[in-house]
Amino acid sequence: MAVVLDEETLALMGISSAAAAPVAVGTEWETFKENVRPLKRGRDVSKLNRALKAHVDPAQRAALLEARRKMIEAIYEYQGEDPLRPWLDCIKWVQESFPTGGECSGLVVLYEQCVRTFWHDARYKDDLRFLKVWLEYAGNCGDAEVIYRFLEANQIGQGYAVYYMSYAQLLESKNKLRKAKEIFDLGIARKAKPLEKLEVVYRTFLRRSTKKREHSEQDDTANGLPIRSFGTNLKRDENRSQQADNSHLGRPRALQRIDVNRPLSVFKDENSLPNQGADIIRKKENTSWRTLGTQAERNKENNMMPTKWTCHKVPQKLGARGAVQPSRASSIEIFVDEDCAQEPAPQVPKSSNPSVLKLRQATSKSFKKETELLKENPLRNFPLNSLR
């Protein structure tokens, strides 16, 4: 597919119209754009199309996995002064080469391995790059609040405003507005950089939380029960009328004279039939237990006697007890994940670094399993003395 750019676009790109040629644009973006995860820095369309094409091309898929293996090898082979740099390069490459994300990409495992390797290194406790890796890791985990508490306990990235803004945003999403306000106040008191941006976000949070509180109060008033007032003071006219209505309650009533010679009146139900009482008495007499009855009368529900049913045998065909035919078992097709089907078994040399060794040994299947565990418990591989 060839696209011809207009003159305005060419001028913005710094290309003359005479030297312009049709630009080839892939169609993979149109096919898989709903599954691409957005990045704050944006994406390169050419790299995005090549990465998406690997979903349908097994050869490119194998080349992509081999390139990921080489990026992990580069982490192990790095001998420079900034060991965090190859980790950042590998994370950036995985984000661009696996735009749909997912467990098999290994991105969450890379985040965890990176932060676990350098969390105790004093060089990176106040490094903004290292803090951003922590925040990206927190955004991919289910319980992100434990990560922010870990950073605060170990004094990692406490001088940057992005920590307090991200932490407060997480608490606000959980409707913990008071705790979010305390985090903002703590960041402003510590003069986190950039302080101006933190104050602007804080004022926006205050306006948003005030509106949310007002809306909740209005909803409670509209949806709640009508307010009852106890001990209401009546007006003077209403009080007089009420006293007049209740004045007869306190007056003594006149005694009525009872005639002793008048016979007692017996109540009689008008709706009852004349012989209904006699029928009820007669029915009770007939149903009374005057005699216990014979055993045949007591067991009239169980007249059918049980018989032996195991004497009947089902006719079986000859050879039915033979060996099971393998054709039925072979007809069941075993599911194989497409991400793991084309991946060769890695040849892993020995290494003294256990975290990097785990990455170099990992396959797409092991990446997927480890990612699921890390999303449930982000600090599962950290030593206990770090969780203070």
Task: Give 27-47 pLDDT, tens digit per residue.
Answer: 665 566 666 777 777 777 777
How many domains in the chain?
1
Strands (DSSP E) found in the chain? 2-3, 23-24
Q: What is the pLDDT of residue 59?
A: 84
State if pTM tops 0.85: no
State the residue range of the domain holding 385. Answer: 102-212+353-388
- In a 13 Å sphere around the CA of 153, the CA atoms on its Cβ side amount to 11
200-224 confidence digits (pLDDT tens): 999 999 999 998 888 777 666 656 5
Domain assignment present for residue 48? The answer is no
Domain assignment present for residue 254? The answer is no
Tokens 């703590």 correspond to: 186
CA 231 vs CA 234, 245, 356: distances in Å: 9, 19, 76
Q: What is the mean pLDDT of residues 112-137?
A: 94
Q: What is the pLDDT of residue 339?
A: 60
Domain assignment present for residue 110? The answer is yes
Residue 122 has pLDDT above 80, yes or no: yes
Residue 234 has pLDDT above 60, yes or no: no
**Closest of 152, 187, 186 to residue 387, by C-alpha:** 152
Q: What is the pLDDT of residue 332?
A: 75
Domain assignment present for residue 386? The answer is yes
Q: What is the pLDDT of residue 340?
A: 58
Evaluated on CA atoms 177, 182, 183, 189, the torsion sign reads positive
**Banded pLDDT at 354 (limits 50, 70, 90):** very low
Domain assignment present for residue 77? The answer is no
CA 117 vs CA 149, 189, 223: distances in Å: 18, 31, 53
What CATH number does the domain containing 137 carry?
1.25.40.430
Q: How many Å apart are CA 150 and CA 386, to the nearest integer?
A: 8
Residue 283 has pLDDT above 50, yes or no: yes
Q: What is the mean pLDDT of the chain?
A: 75
Domain assignment present for residue 237? The answer is no
